Amino acid sequence: MAATEARNTPWSEGDVGDQVGRVAVVTGANTGIGYHTAAVLAYRGAHVVLAVRNLDKGNAALSRIVAAGGHGARKVDVTLQALDLSSLDSVRYAADALRAAYPRIDLLINNAGVMWTPKQLTADGFEMQFGTNHLGHFALTGLLLDRMLGVGGSRVVTVSSLGHRLRAAIHFDDLQWERRYDRVGAYGQSKLANLLFTYELQRRLAARPEAKTIAVAAHPGGSNTELTRHLPAIVRPAAVVLGPVLFQTAAMGALPTLRAATDPTVEGGQYYGPRGFAEQRGHPKLVRSSAQSHDEKLQRRLWAVSEELTGVRFPV
């Protein structure tokens, strides 16, 4: 059961506690929400792994984080890991490298994603949004989870979206959108899948008393990031005009993820998003996801299909 909000002041970056000694893996950390999430964790003392597809952009992000944090007495500890979530071979390679480097992982932040892409397939033949946003993270989590289960306070944080309500359903009869592609519907399916995965993972973790890991979800509201680069041409002019009203900064958009990852009051299975009107912007608070996302039968069915498609079995 989700706890109610009891704070009189909004939760902010300053509420992120000391992260010294913690290892955090952040996917898609070279830009946007992921970059700001990784930067704050690094500045609070965590060893942060930027798990990114584009190594040039990843190195640039690493340099910016180190340069901005270099004025303090504490050394900023950031490394880079190649990870292309649209390739299960890349996911397995990255997981092997991370397992070899880190006997323990405190935070896995499944942040990377694509939105409203033209019809594309991943290296494994999955629809790009479903394959990247859900299946890639599902596989990565399953391959790393045994490095987390015994770590007190460890968390799997998966970033969903308000889009999980928009024309969203899990199309089991056509998961890869082979019959008729709808980029908005495909994005909604992938973001709904993020939540179904989080809630099913939390139920499995809770059923294993010795597991010290919890699964949590977050969404950034409307945030000004590169994720909007595939907006249909017809709506781009409106986005330019209304952007300052509808979209908050990426730094603000990262706050729900940071709260889900670091707030000591967070419980497994909770979902955090902006507190403002329609959850579009503002400081983070507990929010509710759609009724569909809490359908346990749907969660279990998606889990089984995801295991089959990725070939990854979880240790819970």
pLDDT at 192 over 90: yes
151 near 22, Cβ under 8 Å?
no
Q: Around Cβ 294, how many Cβ atoms within 10 Å?
A: 14
Percentage, residues of the chain above pLDDT 90: 85
Catalytic residue among 187, 199, 271, 272: 187
Torsion angle in degrees (nearest 10) through CA of 113, 156, 122, 229: 0
Q: What is the DSSP letter of 179?
A: S
Looking at residue 87, its pLDDT comes to 98
Q: How much is the pLDDT for 239? A: 46
Query: How many other CB atoms are there within 10 angstroms of residue 134's CB atom?
Result: 29
Q: Where are the alpha helices (DSSP H) in the chain?
A: 32-43, 55-69, 88-101, 128-129, 137-144, 183-206, 236-246, 250-253, 255-262, 296-310
d(Cα 31, Cα 4) in Å, to the nearest integer?
32
Confidence of residue 74 (pLDDT cuts 50, 70, 90): confident
Give yes or no for residue 316 having a pLDDT over 80. yes
Mean pLDDT of the chain: 92
> pTM for this one?
0.92
pLDDT at residue 256 above 80? yes
Helix, strand or coil, per DSSP, at residue 227: helix
8 A C-beta contact, residue 123 and residue 88: yes
Beta strands at 77-82 and 47-52: parallel, antiparallel or unpaired: parallel
More confident residue, 136 or 74: 136
Q: Which of 190, 60, 204 is nearest to 113 (CA)?
A: 190
Q: What percent of the chain has pLDDT over 70?
A: 89
pLDDT tens string 257-311: 999 999 999 999 999 999 988 899 999 999 999 999 999 999 999 999 999 999 9
Q: State the maximum Cα–Cα separation within the chain, in Å, rounded to a whole number.
A: 57
User: Between 235 and 125, where is the model more confident?
Assistant: 125
Burial of 288 from C-beta contacts in 10 A (0-12 / 13-18 / 19+): exposed
Residue 47 identity = H
Q: Is 187 a catalytic residue?
A: yes
pLDDT tier, 232 (very low <50, low <70, confident <90, very high otherwise): low
Q: Which two tokens stand for residue 139?
A: 């596989």
Low-confidence winner among 87-91, 107-111, 236-240 (lowest mean pLDDT) = 236-240
| Residue 184, helix vs strand vs coil | helix
Band (pLDDT 50/70/90 cuts) for residue 241 is: very low
